Amino acid sequence: MKTNFFSWLSSSIRGQEFLYKGITTLFLAAGAVIIMIPLIFMISTSLKDPAQIRSDSNTLIPRKPQTVSISGEPFPLYDVSVDGVKSRMAMLKKLPGGKARFADPANPQHVLELVLKEQIPLYRLDIHWENYPTAITAMPFFRYLLNTLAVTFFGMFGMLFSCSLVAYGFSRFRAPWINVLFLLLLSTIMLPSQVRLIPIYIFFQKLGWVNSLLPLIVPQFFANAYDVFLLRQFFMTIPLEMDEAAKMDGANPLEVLVYILLPQARPALVSVGIFHFLYAWNDFYEPLIFLHSRDTWTLAVGLQTFDALYTVNTHLIMAVSVLMIFPPILLFFFSQKIFTQGVVFSGVKG
């Protein structure tokens, strides 16, 4: 009796766990679909004809009405129903009262007046790949891309170099007031960038760096609190015994960092690198302040200007937007596993 009861209880618990997992998966899938809708709409709009955007913008599929030529003039095709019999007819003219005049393409003299909303318009797939080269040539896209890549990757190198050194010092060295210094460093996160904008701008102006990429790259070689904190927390999960073993083999502190800590901290380095890539790639505020000439603009500033100049050409704006978000999506897609490891600070097992 007890065996039957426990078997029933165990199967009941397993059934409830399966149900909860199924419901959770369903909600996550629904959330993913909702989040993907803007991206799908943007890609769809980038492939549409301007005429469809104006008349049929709510449809995700790029399409065009099917037409048939009657007396040398094109007319849209409809699936019409007459006395229960379906056939394809051309709409000749809309009439008052929600009706329209339809004609048989094979026999144009056969004309009927039918209720328009009861008939089904026919469409064909109409993808405009040429929107992408048109959008690229409408703006100096590759110049903006080169500037953005320079700011992103040179800044990423400087950030990883400086933040690794500072995080190494805070995680491995002991000195008076070191915790106070670390708290002081963390407190800079609460300082809004707008507060320091004017003195920094004046400083770079006196150096002659305004309207160049240097104000966006050089500050990254001076560590920021957010990335230092992430790397320090990861370094602290690596056992000190590994440092001591390296020192016994004659390694100096810099060699310990390069050959012991950095290889172990690869997930954390990739994580902060991705964070910086997304920040620098999408940054609009600082490039807008420091970059004045068109030749020095990044993609974020160039896209905003392109949007202002080509407001009516939604398909071109969406095409450039798709090209801009494609690299971050690819980056996350190929590095999501190691990125997840870095975010959860897995450290060294055992």
Question: Hey, what amino acid is at 246?
Answer: A
Residue ranges of E strands in 55-141: 63-65, 67-70, 73-82, 85-95, 99-104, 107-115, 120-121, 123-125
Short-list 158, 347, 164, 349, CA closest to 253: 164
CA angle 255, 259, 262 (to 5 degrees): 110
pLDDT reported for residue 92: 86
Quote the tokens at residue 261: 């800590």
Is-above-0.85 flag for pTM? Answer: no
pLDDT reported for residue 346: 42
Contacts of 156 (CB under 8 A, 6+ apart): 220, 273, 276, 277, 280
Residues 218, 158 contacting (CB under 8 angstroms): yes
Residue whose tokens read 């060295």:
173
pLDDT reported for residue 347: 42
- Alpha carbon distance 111, 93 (integer Å): 11
Q: What CATH code is assigned to 132-343?
A: 1.10.3720.10
Torsion angle defined by CA atoms of residues 152, 158, 160 and 166, in that order, rounded to the nearest 10 degrees: -150
- Alpha carbon distance 209, 200 (integer Å): 11
- Alpha carbon distance 67, 283 (integer Å): 46
Spans in the chain with pLDDT lower than 50: 1-2, 6, 9, 346-350
pLDDT reported for residue 4: 58
Residue whose tokens read 């890609």:
43
Q: Where are the domains of the chain?
A: 1-46, 63-125, 132-343
For the stretch 244-296, pLDDT in tens is: 888 888 888 889 998 889 988 888 898 899 889 999 999 999 999 999 888 99
